[in-house]
Amino acid sequence: MADGSDLRFLFQPRQVAVIGASRTPGKIGHAVVRNLKAGGFAGAIYPVNPAGGEVEGVPCLRSVADLPEPADCAITVVPAAQTVEAVRACAEKGVRAAVVGAGGFAEAGTPEGRQRQAELLAIARASGMRLLGPNTNGIYNRSAKLSLGYNAAHGYAMPPGPVSVIAHSGAVFGGVALTLMSFGVGLSKFVPVGNEADIDMLDVLDYCIEDADTRVIGLVIEALSDGPRLRELAERAAGRGKPIVALKIGRSQVGVSAALAHSSRLAGAARAYDALFDACAIASVRSVEALAAGCALLAQRSPGACDSDRRVICVTTSGAGGAVLADFAAERGIALAGSPVGEWEGDAGATIARLPARGKIRSPIDLGVLDDWSILSKIYAALEADGLDGPTVAYVHIAPTPDMDEKLVSELAARRQRSPAPIVAVAPGGLGDLEQAYRAHGIALFRDTALCFDSLACHFATCRTGPAMWARSHAVSPAASKAVARLRALADGRTMLSEVESAEILRMIGVPLVESRSADTLAQARAGAAELGYPLVLKALAGGVAHKNAAGFVITAIGGIAELERAHVQLLSRAKGHELGALTLVLQPMVSAKWELLVGISRQAQLGHFVIFGLGGVDAELLDEVVLVPIDLDVAAMRQQIARHRIGSRLAGTFNRSHQCVLDGIMTVVAGLQQLAWAGGDIVDSIDLNPIIVTKDHELVAVDALIVFQRAPESP
């Protein structure tokens, strides 16, 4: 793990060696030297090629051993088969950092590739040399005039800027750079980390947080190595006033269907990343264009912008444009100024109603109804008097006269002087020469409406009104410790616990579970039914069967002894069809439901545990109505997140006969699961309480439970 200081040789080298430099234009080894020179690198450049000669007028050394001094940084652009020895030679010469450009290492998925990468790491660790890659196309640091790589973008003439992007894919360099420049924003750094044999994305993020030339950070993520560390770095970045925008690539659910628990199937890596980003106030986007545009908007954000009102004022030069803005805002959960039906309210509404116009001035503000577009200044004044100083989105086109264009630009520019909140304009197809007038006043101009709102969403996502309330400690309750001790004793090397065993554990942490009776014989089933009363549910529990409904192992609405006997015969017959061993029957009272919920825990590789909440029952995965929150959030913060969900909002306003809020009851369950996860560490892979029934009296009772192990835990 880097502390930042040992990466200075990578980002601010005094000398650079190019291992595999080529005299032939068009070859990668030639491009690296050409880009270094064209980028204005002021330090020493040492091309290395056994054939000698010159590259771009710089004499070639025949070997790394011939370096006149240990270079701060070297880049290897030789084939994978030669790379290990090239890196070894650099280490022996005392090179402090190396960028490995070749592919053919662990990403190839072959034993040979993995072995090569392991050798690279061993060399780096033994020598103290830092290693970026392998499988990276080089790095870019504008402030050091270091364009060290062979991507076409390494040859671009780019202005300096405040945005640094760290990526698992070097191929996005050009798209990021060109999009930023289209918004008039320059790039500080672009760092493709490749296979992360040594230096990983979070190491570079750590560096950029402390870097004086970086004000906004973009991340292009395939997978992270350490979710908790991301959280710590995000908190530090927020403290430095450096917003982060993340693009998670590879969002498909491939492999998730193999999970035993509904919670893990529904969670998935993409949702877990989104939940972590949300809790960390990291903006999440879906495209390279949105990443760059979002970073560009944040780079131009004025101090104090996050203190402005969050309601967006929409201005449009056509009624249709206003409808488009309202639709896009609604899709992204962005609140518009004005009432839900577009009326201006309060003192602002009264003032606006008195202004001269050819029709009613509503939200969005249609300039077509104004006698004079300069009236917009009076509308803004009225809104500002009522505290509406938030962002503006203007849907614009070239007006019938240049005077009208000038008035609109002038009014928007004046608003920007009075409020730090961003002002953005959407102009499908562009505005020609008029675009420069908008940009000159710091108004970001978009030609794509979706991209505009995606970028504006980045502003809101990174403008948290208060930091996420992470739990202050992981101290676990005696009940949770006792439950985990019992869990370990029951495990016995299995992948999961039965429903009865899971219920036993979960009752210990306060989860309200339905009363149950086990039965090995029909006589025991009759006795259990007599104790519980009818109607009943009869279940068959068998080792290895996680989803009893899917296997036909649940029979409901048993109304009497005769139906019980028939159900008993049916389950025994179905069990024989599955060729299972020992079978246990469980009886439970039939519980009428107003809602069926899923509450559980899912562990996502490298990111940690997440609480999952949503609609449950046999169709939980089909309904796919869930919300995830990181397990380390404070319970009050989790409640806020869950209450934003459609079902959570309903539960927050629902009370039982004892005047207890149903959502508070859910949060008691969540708090118990959090304690169990903390006490069990990585033992617990997932927990399903599916369904937890909200009865017609608004009481809570779980009627099924499943605990799955991440690995077979050792007995104490």
**CA gyration radius, the chain:** 31
- What is the CA angle 78-82-85, rounded to 5? 115
**pLDDT at res. 239:** 92
Selection from 188, 146, 189, 143 nearest residue 170 by Cα: 189
**pLDDT at res. 13:** 98
pLDDT in tens, 229-255: 999 999 999 999 999 999 999 876 655
CA distance 647 to 7: 48
Looking at residue 87, its amino acid is: V
CA 525 to chain centroid, in Å, comes to: 49
Instruction: Please state which of the four CATH numbers 3.40.630.30, 3.40.1410.10, 1.10.3210.10, 3.30.1490.20 is assigned to the domain occupying 515-590.
Output: 3.30.1490.20
SS3 state of residue 690: strand
Selection from 196, 244, 245 nearest residue 224 by Cα: 196
Residues of the chain with pLDDT under 50: 1-4, 713-716
**What is the SS3 string spanning 22-34?**
CCCCCCHHHHHHH
**pLDDT at res. 465:** 61
Looking at residue 562, its amino acid is: A
Same fold, 5-214 and 301-441: yes
Predicted TM-score (pTM) of the model is: 0.92
**pLDDT at res. 573:** 83
**pLDDT at res. 257:** 54
Architecture of domain 301-441: 3-Layer(aba) Sandwich (3.40)
What are the contacts of 621-629 at 24+ separation with CB within 8 A?
Answer: 621/262, 621/265, 621/266, 624/266, 626/266, 626/267, 626/271, 626/598, 627/275, 628/267, 628/271, 628/272, 628/274, 628/275, 628/602, 629/275, 629/279
Domain ranges of the chain: 5-214, 301-441, 515-590
pLDDT in tens, 31-75: 999 999 999 999 999 999 999 999 999 999 999 999 999 999 999
CA distance 162 to 153: 17
Q: For residue 583, how many C-alpha atoms fall within 13 Å in the half-sphere facing its CB?
A: 20
Mean pLDDT of the chain: 92
**pLDDT at res. 618:** 76
**pLDDT at res. 620:** 73
**pLDDT at res. 1:** 41
Task: Tell me the fold of 5-214.
Answer: Rossmann fold (3.40.50)
**pLDDT at res. 264:** 65
Query: Which two tokens mark 667?
Result: 């949060």
**pLDDT at res. 552:** 85
Question: Quick check: 336 and 416 in contact, CB under 8 A?
Answer: no
CA distance 39 to 502: 63
